A and B are shown apart, each in its own frame.
Chain A
Amino acid sequence: MAETDPVVELKTPASIAKFAGLLALVALPLFVSEYRVSTWSTYLTFALLALSIDLVWGYTGLLTLGHAAFFGAGAYVTAKLLKEVPAVPDVAVVFLIAPALAALLTLVLGWFLFSADVKGSYFAITTLIVSIIFESVAGEFVGFLGGFNGIYGIPSIQVVGFELTATMSYYLALGVLVGSYLLLRLLVDSAFGRVLRGIRGNQERTEFFGYDTQQYRLIVFTLSGAMAGVAGSMYATVDGFVSPPLLGFVLSTQVVIWIAVGGRGTLIGAVFGALLIQYLNSTLSDVLINYWEMGLALLFIAVVIGAPRGIVGLLSDTVEGIQTSLQSTKRSDLGAGGELDD
């Protein structure tokens, strides 16, 4: 991603690694079957969800366990509209209606919680409740939302009357992911991003400096909700099936594990963790069944205890350690991860 990244030039090991990763993803459809391309498209949409959560959790210090609710809301509204209201253009559904609905939901919830300064563990628990509410309500609306069976047979996305192939959908998902990454990169590197890190480090102090942290948190939460909505919407068009677990807290917590293992507060760690673990999930879970889940959980615990900034944090620390001995590098920008939480 470094090639188009205005912030980082292609000369650090990190940017070379990112560029290589992007090249691999671009080349992927050449090497795998069409079915696997679709699978990788869903990985990309989950990576987008992870990215949206990292903005809230990794940069602002608000651990949300409810983002699946907004991802799922985007997926459900897409399922209903694509199946039953063909008059609305698909592109408008995915990039306008789904994110608008998800943003509205996060805006209302964010206003509700932030105006009472609900934060820390209370924020985590209340967002978790929201996910559980969404999941159980969706399961109850049998006629409208398909109940526990969900909605299947969602058509893939059409652009000006032309249905996208699996490979084109893949590149669309990749493009949206890369675009969102670059957008968030700009955001977190801006003055706005510094305020977010200030809130993560010490909310009271940030308020004391005159920042309206409630407004900042609300903007970030809503933006992240919109992004989760797009992710869910694209997921629905790629997978063709939505069901209540997409809204539930199990998905929310899975994504949190991906981000933690990849490296929270780094953006690229969220994408890396999401893609790596989903890929391993599908390849290893057949062979190792329950042992894989347990191994992942143990890895997750080890990362939380020993490396709060995840694999990406560890790698960048190692690289930086080598670089620092050669030249003094600017470290101020690296999120301090878990130490500053709460």
Chain B
Amino acid sequence: MISTFATVVPLQLADRVLISLTSISGLILVASGLTIIFGLMGVLNLAHGALMMVGAYTAYAVQSAGLSPWLGIVIAPLVVGLVGVAMEVTLIRRLYDRPLDTLLATWGIAIVLQEAVTIAFGTSQKSVAPPLEGSISLLGVTYPAHWAFIIVVTVVVMAITIGLFAYTDIGIMALAVIQDREMAAAVGINTRVSDRTTFAFGSALAGLSGAIMAPLLSVNSTMGIAWLADSFLVVIVGGVGTFTGTIAGGILLGGLDNLFRTVISGYTSIAQAAVLLVALVIIRYRPEGLIPAAERGE
């Protein structure tokens, strides 16, 4: 889980706390889009990691065109949001009542996106520069500014998303469509538009997370796979269908990852496997997740 964060060897407790905070934030950020698409809409989107990867490549493309890294962060969610619209229009809307088939179809999409990026950019690793260079001092530790930026973005994104779904008409209509499509249609909500908007929003979040995380990662066409598994675990372990669950899942799994990595130092894969094992046990004994969604069907 998030093996690329191991670049800095933690020396002090403050270091470790800050590194953990960043990796937890990154995990929550990447999982947030999946919370909407899988958690709320019930679409088993195995293309989530690939969408994130497309976001990272968009950031790379913008930078290699000589434009500001900030622009990449703005354009990535737009590009990936459009990919999401295309996915919804052509495929996903046909499969809302066939959940396991959405899993297969989106895995197909993931391969298509992966190969498209390989054709366009080749197989070599790309690196993306962070928009914020330099470092800041926090708790007496020098800390890369971009790492702090990730924490800030995650907090802002989660606040906006929760606010959107809890307090705005669009968000509440989207929830109504998700819970009962027929009933929502009966009271005059355009379910087609609502589904598409929700899916596009979730995709855009995947794109945004890809662009923001890109500077910390080695960007390549298969980078999405590891993040796909991680995001699904965060959403399921946290509790499908709740944003607070995603936050809890991110804190638990990201925290455990950092802990195991410190305790079992030198055996990164074993530490990762240990986290996955814990996730497996949680899914087994607490299938509704840490923070279950209130009164929702399967």
Residues of A within 8 A of B (CB): 63, 112-113, 116, 118, 120-122, 124-126, 128-130, 132-133, 136-137, 139-140, 249-250, 253, 256-257, 260, 290-291, 293-294, 296-298, 300-301, 304-305, 308, 338-339, 341-342
Contact = CB atoms under 8 A, between A and B. Distances in A.
Interface stretch (B77-85, B126-134, B147-155, B278-286): B278-286
A121 B115 contact: no
Interface in B256-298: 267-270, 272-273, 276-277, 279-280, 283-285, 287, 298
Interface of B is mostly: helix
A63 B100 contact: yes
Given A125-B236, A305-B105, 20 more contacts: A118-B284, A122-B287, A124-B103, A126-B280, A129-B233, A129-B280, A130-B280, A140-B269, A140-B273, A249-B229, A250-B225, A253-B107, A257-B108, A294-B111, A297-B112, A298-B112, A301-B105, A301-B112, A304-B104, A304-B105
A215 to B, nearest CB: 18
Please list the 6 inter-chain residue pairs (A to B) with the smallest Cβ-Cβ separation, ordered nearest first.
A297-B111, A301-B108, A136-B269, A294-B115, A140-B269, A341-B100
Given A129-B229, A308-B101, A341-B98, A301 B91 contact: yes
A128 B229 contact: yes
Contacts of B104: 256, 260, 300, 304
A290 B103 contact: no
- Which of the four size classes fits the interface of chain B? 35 or more
A98 B251 CA distance: 40
Interface string B95-118: 100111101110111011001101
A125 B99 CA distance: 13
Given A129-B276, A301-B105, A137 B269 contact: yes
Contacts of A301: 91, 105, 108-109, 112
Interface in B20-59: 44
B108 A300 contact: yes
Nearest to B104: A304
B199 interface: no
B287 A118 contact: yes
B134 to A, nearest CB: 35
Contact of A120 (B100, B116, B118, B268): B100
B105 A291 contact: no
Nearest to B274: A133
A132 B228 CA distance: 12
Interface of A is mostly: helix
B192 interface: no
B13 interface: no
14 contacts: A116-B285, A121-B99, A121-B100, A125-B233, A132-B276, A256-B104, A291-B115, A293-B111, A294-B112, A294-B119, A297-B112, A301-B109, A305-B91, A341-B98
B273 A136 contact: yes
B103 to A, nearest CB: 6
B277 to A, nearest CB: 6
B284 A133 contact: no
A199 to B, nearest CB: 14
Contacts of A126: 280, 283-284
A341 B284 CA distance: 21
Interface centre among A112, A290, A293 (most CB of B within 10 A): A290
A293 B115 contact: yes
A122 B119 contact: no
Nearest to B228: A128
B269 A139 contact: yes
Contacts of B269: 136-137, 139-140
A126 B98 CA distance: 19
A256 B109 CA distance: 15
B232 interface: yes
B277 A133 contact: yes
B297 to A, nearest CB: 13
A248 B175 CA distance: 36
A125 B236 CA distance: 9
Nearest to B230: A132
Contacts of A290: 115, 118-119
A122 B283 contact: yes
A308 B100 CA distance: 11
A140 B272 CA distance: 11
A32 B193 CA distance: 56
Nearest to A341: B100
A335 to B, nearest CB: 14
A331 to B, nearest CB: 22
Contacts of A304: 101, 104-105, 108
Contact of B273 (A118, A120, A137): A137
A304 B108 CA distance: 9
A305 B115 contact: no
Nearest to A294: B115
Given A125-B232, A129-B233, A140-B267, A63 B103 contact: yes
A122 B99 CA distance: 11
A112 B284 contact: yes
A260 B280 CA distance: 27
Contact of A122 (B112, B229, B236, B272): B236
A140 B270 contact: yes
Contacts of B270: 136-137, 140
Given A305-B91, A338-B101, A129 B108 contact: no
Interface centre among B108, B233, B287 (most CB of A within 10 A): B108
A297 B280 CA distance: 29
